């Protein structure tokens, strides 16, 4: 991940007046009675339709999961599961085939939560995974038992193998800029940031492509940085996604998906903030093409 400075996470700020203690107390009480978990269900069919040209692709819900975590609405992952598990698009040819489809969907959402954790926060990933698990155990108890028996995809590899695959994936993203990015990370952290990024973030987590492939992982990194308002990193992963084979159309739709989720959540798009708009000028290339 790019080491240049980032703007912070954008969250709604209280507009309550502090003129009187009564007003201040009222604003606090109001905020306390509106927890994140009370967010209404999203219109997932609209989100899915954005990827209508590739409706069979799981990309839309992989990215939707990551965006929900980035927008601090990780508890909606359970809601997303309920939509997907009841969707008519799931095969109903046989019960066995239907269960295989559901298992694949659940594992992709779970993997999206795991991979997003390094970009938007470990606690949010934990909350999302619990929301997903609770929803699955309620709607599909048998499926829940199967998923609970899954074993780690990452534990069997030794440290050297993880380092090698982490560096390989990092180079695929940054190509000719790899040395510059690693050097900058070294100089700003005494070498620890590079060690952590290659061994842990990429080697342990992001370079595992059994469930979510390289290109989908690159796009996930991009949307997390975009939704979190981190311009320099969003730019790095925008071009990294191109390096991984994503098309301009896919990137455009990915931005549109993020915008639509923000609209439904009544969330301000951080990349449209006048203070940081210049950092996101690279988006014009794909949005106008």
d(CA 184, CA 232): 13
The domain locations on the chain are 42-153+208-287
Residue 135 token pair: 């929803």
Give the pLDDT score at 54: 64
For the packed helices 141-148 and 122-139, what is the interaxial angle rounded to 10 degrees?
A: 140
The Cα-based distances of 137 to 36, 44, 146 in angstroms read 22, 21, 11
What is the tens place of the pLDDT at every residue in 72-100?
999 999 999 999 998 744 444 545 558 89
The pLDDT tens digits of the residues spanning 157-185 come to 999 999 999 999 999 999 999 999 999 99
Tokens standing for residue 92: 């109903």
- Average pLDDT score, the chain: 86
For 242-261, what is the mean pLDDT? 97
- The DSSP secondary structure of 209-267, one letter per residue, reads -SSS-HHHHHHHHHHHHHHTT-HHHHHHHHHHHHHTT--HHHHHHHHHHHHHHHHHHT-
pLDDT higher at 14 or 191: 191
Give the global pTM: 0.83
Q: Write the burial class of residue 275 (CB in 10 Å: 0-12 exposed, 13-18 middle, 19+ buried).
A: exposed
Contacts by 95-101 with C-beta closer than 8 Å and gap 24+?
A: 99/142, 99/143
Q: What is the pLDDT of residue 98?
A: 85
What is the DSSP-derived secondary structure letter of residue 276? T
Task: Report the pLDDT value the prediction gives residue 2, as an integer from 0 to 100.
Answer: 46
pLDDT of the residue at 7: 39
d(CA 44, CA 84): 9
Q: Is the dihedral of CA 107, 62, 120, 123 positive or negative?
A: negative
């Amino acid at each position: 991940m790019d080491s240049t400075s980032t703007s912070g996470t954008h969250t709604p700020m209280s507009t309550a007046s502090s003129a009187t203690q009564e007003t201040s107390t009222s604003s606090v009480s109001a905020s306390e009675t509106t927890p994140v978990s009370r967010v209404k269900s999203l219109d997932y069919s609209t989100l899915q339709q954005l990827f209508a040209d590739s409706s069979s692709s799981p990309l839309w819900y992989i990215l939707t999961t990551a965006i929900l975590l980035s927008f601090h609405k990780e508890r909606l992952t359970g809601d997303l599961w309920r939509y997907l598990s009841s969707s008519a698009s799931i095969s109903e040819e046989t019960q066995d085939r239907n269960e295989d489809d559901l298992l694949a969907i659940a594992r992709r959402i779970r993997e999206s939560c795991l991979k997003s954790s390094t970009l938007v926060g470990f606690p949010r990933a934990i909350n999302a995974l619990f929301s997903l698990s609770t929803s699955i155990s309620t709607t599909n108890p048998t499926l829940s038992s199967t998923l609970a028996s899954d074993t780690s995809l990452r534990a069997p590899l030794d440290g050297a193998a993880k380092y090698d695959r982490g560096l390989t994936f990092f180079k695929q993203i940054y190509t000719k800029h790899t040395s510059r990015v690693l050097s900058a990370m070294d100089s700003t952290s005494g070498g620890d940031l590079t060690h952590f990024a290659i061994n842990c973030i990429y080697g342990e987590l992001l370079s595992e492509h059994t469930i979510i492939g390289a290109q989908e992982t690159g796009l996930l990194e991009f949307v997390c940085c975009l939704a979190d308002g981190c311009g320099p990193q969003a730019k790095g992963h925008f071009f990294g996604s191109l390096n991984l084979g994503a098309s301009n159309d896919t990137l455009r739709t990915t931005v549109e998906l993020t915008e639509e989720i923000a609209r439904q959540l009544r969330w301000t798009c951080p990349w449209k903030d006048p203070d940081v708009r210049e950092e996101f000028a690279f988006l014009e290339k794909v949005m106008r093409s």
